[in-house]
Amino acid sequence: MPAKSKFTLAYALSAVLALLLISSSLAGLLYGSGGLYEPYPASLAGLVGQDAITLLFGLPLLLVSTWLALRGSTRGLLLWAGTLFYFAYSYFFYLVGVFNDLFFLFAVMVAGSLALLVPYLRGLQESGGKPALPGRGLKGGLG
């Protein structure tokens, strides 16, 4: 059962993650082919394409799912967790394969996405598989 609408640290960190995603994606789109990414054609196209997908689809999905989860929607909560996993997974490849001026930013985004997921998954386990908002009844979790 979804929890009541409650602003927690987890959702504030989602907003910070959104700002980091905007920064890294815009930098990749504006400066990726200008030397930020390696000029190898296949990787350059993939990285710049990922930046575009992040801005067009990933970021709105993160913002909408966070808003829905804040309103107490179980579907929104599941969508929010899936979106966080998507960003952790996709930016992990930036972290291990793209060493440039944005390396620290990529590391913060991967670590932040995973840090937001851990309390959610712990809450899922403690609630017997029912989605629960992070910080709700978690000992030592975010919120």
How far is 2 from 21, CA to CA, in rounded Å?
27
Report how far apart the first and last C-alpha atoms of the chain are (Å, whole number): 18
> Domain map of the chain by residue range?
24-126
- For 7-32, the pLDDT digits (tens) are 477 888 899 999 999 999 999 999 98
CA distances from 25 to 30, 37, 42, 53, 123 (A): 8, 12, 18, 9, 31
Q: Which of 102, 106, 114 has its CA nearest to residue 13? A: 114
**pTM of the predicted structure, to 2 decimals:** 0.80
Position 120 scores a pLDDT of: 77
Position 132 scores a pLDDT of: 60
Q: Say whether 1 sits in a helix, a strand or coil.
A: coil
Position 138 scores a pLDDT of: 41
Looking at per-residue pLDDT, the higher value among 116 and 20 belongs to 20
